[in-house]
Structure 1
Amino acid sequence: MRPLIDLAYRARRRLLALTGWATAGAKVMVHDRSGRLLLVRNRYGRTDRWVLPGGGIKRRESPQAAGAREVLEETGCRVTGMEATGVFQSKAEGRRDTVHLFSGVTDDTPVPDGVEIAEARFFALDALPKGLSPATRRRLDEIAGRRQPDGRW
């Protein structure tokens, strides 16, 4: 299954870069009640990177609903108290992408879906994993006041 997911991922990236098609997605900073942050490691693309859960927004779906759906699909966690944190622009992978960021809380234990997600775990903010994605690091630094938001994902 993994070779097919990798192939589909690479083909989609290439197509979006060639067409210049704009996409929109949602990411969620999900915390547990003790303040730990939920991070996932994908089974495609940069599998060594820990990122925020999230994904694409479906037609006629709100960004907030997409974020909650993606977290549930990828980790089995239901998010409550979701609040908008910001909207960012990305030109990574040669495409134009708008990323809507939310924050929320869960009482659930993450279980990776096994298809898209290889690992899903909570991490204390002072003990983040090696391989944290640069975009996730920027968001954490902005929230902590160590960096000014610049609108880029």
Structure 2
Amino acid sequence: MRVNCVGAVVFDDSGRLLLIRRGHPPGEGLWSLPGGRVEPGESDHQALARELLEETGLRVSVVRLAGAVERPGGAPGVVYVIRDYLATPDGDTALTAGDDAADARWVPVPELDRLPMSPGVLDALREWGLIGGRSSATG
């Protein structure tokens, strides 16, 4: 079964990347891009806006599709099809972790390799040209 999901690649005015620490499986305790499942009847943009508000308290505007990845789901035969969108904050950039996010932070790009990241996130961002640097064991 394929599950449609969206994720947000959001940078603030200082060039820091918005990350959430996952509060539930899959990836509990790991840092990742905010996002989640596209609910029935939602467009990708609607799902992205809803997920960002729920997980970080931010309102965003979608700029463009950054790229897409497929990841194994938590159950046998489940595949998450994740479309990540570049987005910009609309107004206030103060964060409030909520929903299934245990924490939310703006992280300077040079510090990303030091965080326990969900597998493949940093590699995808590098492949899409959104951050520089080399791959590491954590990403």
Q: Which runs of 5+ in 2 are unaligned?
A: 135-139
Q: Count how many residue pairs are aligned between Structure 1 and Structure 2.
A: 126
Looking at structure 2, the residues matched to 99 and 83 of structure 1 have their Cα atoms a distance apart, in angstroms, of 14
Verify the 8 A CA contact 1:38 1:120 in the aligned structure 2.
yes
Query: Rg: which structure is higher?
Result: 1
Aligned residue identity for 1:39: L
Q: In 2, Cα distance between the equivalents of 1:146 and 1:32?
A: 19
Q: 1:112 corresponds to which residue? A: 97
Q: Which runs of 5+ in 1 are unaligned?
A: 1-20, 148-153
Offset, 1:31: 1.1
Question: Aligned-pair distance for 1:100?
Answer: 0.9
The alignment's C-alpha RMSD in Å is: 1.9
Q: Check whether the contact 1:64–1:82 (CA below 8 A) recurs between aligned residues.
A: no
**After the TM superposition, which parts of structure 1 deviate over 6 Å for at least 4 consecutive aligned residues?**
none
Once the two structures are superposed, residues 15-40 of structure 1 have per-residue CA deviations (whole angstroms, 9 ceiling, x without a partner) of: xxxxxx22110000111111100000
State the identity %: 31
Output aligned runs, 1:2-151, within 5 Å.
Answer: 21-45=1-25, 46-93=27-74, 94=76, 95-106=78-89, 107-113=92-98, 115-128=99-112, 129-142=114-127, 143=129, 144=131
Shift of 1:140: 2.2
**Per residue, is there more strand in 1 or in 2?**
2
Q: Which structure has more helix as a fraction of its residues?
A: 1
Contact 1:88 1:100 in 2 (8 A): yes
Q: What TM-score do the two structures reach when normalised by structure 2? A: 0.80
Question: 1:138 is aligned with what amino acid?
Answer: D
After superposition, the C-alpha distances for 1:55-103 in whole angstroms (9 at most, x for unaligned) are 0001111112211210111110111243111222223433122111101
- Structure 1 length-normalised TM: 0.74
The answer as to whether partners of 2:12 and 2:88 remain within 8 angstroms in 1 is: yes
